[in-house]
Amino acid sequence: MKTYILFLQQCIRSKEVWISLLLITVLGIIAINIGNKHIERQQQAIAEVNEYQKTHVDRQIALHNDDLGLLLYYTKFSYINSLNPLAGISIGQTDVNPIVKQITIKTFEAQRFDTDLVNPMNLQSGNLDLSFVIIYLFPLLVIVLSFNVVSEETETGTWQLVAIQATSKLRFIISKLAIRFVLLVSVLILLFCIAKFVMNIPFTSRFLAMIALAICYIIFWFALSFFVIIHKKTSGFNALLLLSAWLVLLILIPAGINSYVSLKYPVPEALSTAIAQRDGYHVKWDTDKTATIAKFYKHYPQFEKYGYPTDGFNWLWYYAMQQMGDDDSKKEREALNKKIRLREQTSKKLATAVPNMYIQLIFNQLSGTSMSQQLNYLDATRQFHEKLRLFFYPTIFEGKKADVIDWSQFTPEYYKERLPVSWLQTILPMILASLFIFLLSIPMIKKL
Partner 1 sequence: MKWVNIRLFALNFWRNATNLKAFYVLYFIFIVLAGYAIVNGVQNHITQNNIRQDHQVKARQSWEANPDKHPHRMSHFGTFAFRKHPPLAMFDYGLESFTGNTIFLEAHQQNSVNFSEATFSTGTLRFGELSLALLLQLVLPLIIFFIGFPSVAADRQNGTLKILLSQGASWKELLIGKSMGLLAISLLYFIPVFLLLTITLITGNDQAMSDHLWLRFILIGLGYLVFLCIVSILTIVVSATSSSPKNALLRLLGIWLLFLVLLPKSAQALGNYWFPTPSKLAFQSAIEKEVIEQGDSHNPDDPHYQHLKDSVLKAHNVDEVTDLPFNYSGFVMREGEKISSALYRKHHEALVNIYKKQNNVTHFSSFINPFTAIKLVSMTLSETDFSSYMDFQNKADDYRYQLAQTMNELQMEYISPKKASGSEGKKHIIDHTHWSAFQDFSHEPIKFSNSIKIAFPALLSLMLWTIVAMVWLVITSKRAKAI
Site membership for partner 1, residue 334 (CB under 8 A) = no
Q: How far is the CB of 385 from partner 1 (least distance, A)?
A: 18
Are the C-beta atoms of residues 64 and 402 closer than 8 Å to each other? yes
Q: Which amino acid is residue 92, in one-letter code?
A: G
Report if residue 388 touches partner 1, rule: CB under 8 A: no
Nearer to partner 1, 168 or 262 (CB): 262
Among 166, 198, 243, 380, binds partner 1 (CB under 8 A): 243
- Contact call for residues 62 and 81 (beta carbons, < 8 A): no
Cβ-contact 250, 143 below 8 angstroms: no
Stretch that binds partner 1, among 38-46, 209-217, 219-227, 424-432 (CB under 8 A): 38-46
* CA dist., res. 66 & res. 8, Å (int): 79
Q: By three-state DSSP, how is residue 415 classified? A: strand
| 85 vs 92, beta carbon nearer partner 1 | 92
Q: Mark the segment that binds partner 1 (CB under 8 A) among 177-185, 213-221, 338-346, 438-446.
A: 338-346
Tell me if 39 sits within 8 A of 130, measured CB to CB: no
Q: How many H helices and E strands in the chain?
A: 20, 3
- Which is closer to partner 1, CB of 33 or CB of 204? 33
Closest to 277 (Cα-Cα) out of 322, 317, 315, 314: 322
Site for partner 1 in 131-190 (CB under 8 A): 132, 136, 140
Distance in angstroms (rounded) separating the CA atoms of residues 214 and 367: 14
Which whole-number Å values give the CA distances from 333 to 241, 328, 418, in the listed order?
48, 9, 26
Note whether 292 binds partner 1 by CB under 8 A.
no
| Count of residues in the chain | 448
Determine which residue in the list 2, 157, 165, 286 makes contact with partner 1, applying CB under 8 A: 286
Size of the residue set binding partner 1 (CB under 8 A): 92
Choose between 110 and 172: whose C-beta lies nearer to partner 1: 110
- Residues 156 and 177: their CA atoms lie apart, in Å, by 19
Task: Report yes or no: 278 and 328 within 8 Å, Cβ to Cβ.
Answer: no
Q: Evaluate whether 332 touches 273 at the Cβ level (below 8 Å).
A: yes
Instruction: Tell me whether residue 210 or residue 441 sits nearer to partner 1 (CB atom).
Output: 210
**Residue closer to partner 1 (CB basis): 58 or 189:** 58
* CA nearest neighbour of 144 among 245, 265, 225: 225
Minimum distance from residue 324 beta carbon to partner 1 (Å)? 14
Helix (H, G, I), strand (E, B) or coil at 313: coil
State the sign of the Cα–Cα–Cα–Cα dihedral 58, 59, 62, 63.
Answer: negative
107: contact with partner 1 by CB under 8 A: no
Measured from the CB atom, the residue of 369 and 426 that comes closer to partner 1 is: 369
Q: Is 229 in the site for partner 1 (CB under 8 A)?
A: no
Q: In whole angstroms, give the CA distance from residue 59 to residue 57.
A: 5
Cα Rg, the chain, nearest whole Å:
29
Indicate the residue among 356 and 434 with the shorter CB distance to partner 1: 356
C-alpha separations of 392 from 56, 105, 398 in Å: 18, 9, 10
Q: Does 65 interact with partner 1 (rule: CB under 8 A)? A: no
By CB under 8 A, name the one of 26, 63, 390, 431 that touches partner 1.
63
| Residue selected from 301, 312, 420, 443 as contacting partner 1 according to rule CB under 8 A | 312
162 within 8 A of 153, measured Cβ to Cβ:
yes
Among 8, 17, 45, 405, binds partner 1 (CB under 8 A): 45
Instruction: Compute the least distance from the CB of residue 445 to partner 1, in Å.
Output: 26
Q: Are strands 413-415 and 77-81 parallel, antiparallel or unpaired?
A: parallel
Does residue 344 touch partner 1 according to CB under 8 A? yes
User: Which of 128, 178, 212, 444 touches partner 1 by CB under 8 A?
Assistant: 128
List the interface residues with partner 1, window 249-278 (CB under 8 A). 250-252, 254-263, 266-268, 270-272, 274-275, 278
Q: What is the DSSP letter of 94?
A: G
Pick the piece of the chain touching partner 1 (CB under 8 A) from 123-131, 382-390, 399-407, 419-427: 123-131
Segment lying near partner 1 (by CB under 8 A), choices 158-166, 279-287, 325-333, 419-427? 279-287
- H or E segment to which residue 77 belongs: strand 77-81
Which residue number, 115 or 156, has a Cβ lying nearer to partner 1?
115
Does position 335 bind partner 1 by CB under 8 A?
A: no
Q: Judged by CB under 8 A, which of 32, 105, 371, 402 binds partner 1?
A: 371
CB of 268 to partner 1, least distance (A): 4
Q: Which of 282, 298, 299, 387 binds partner 1 (CB under 8 A)?
A: 282
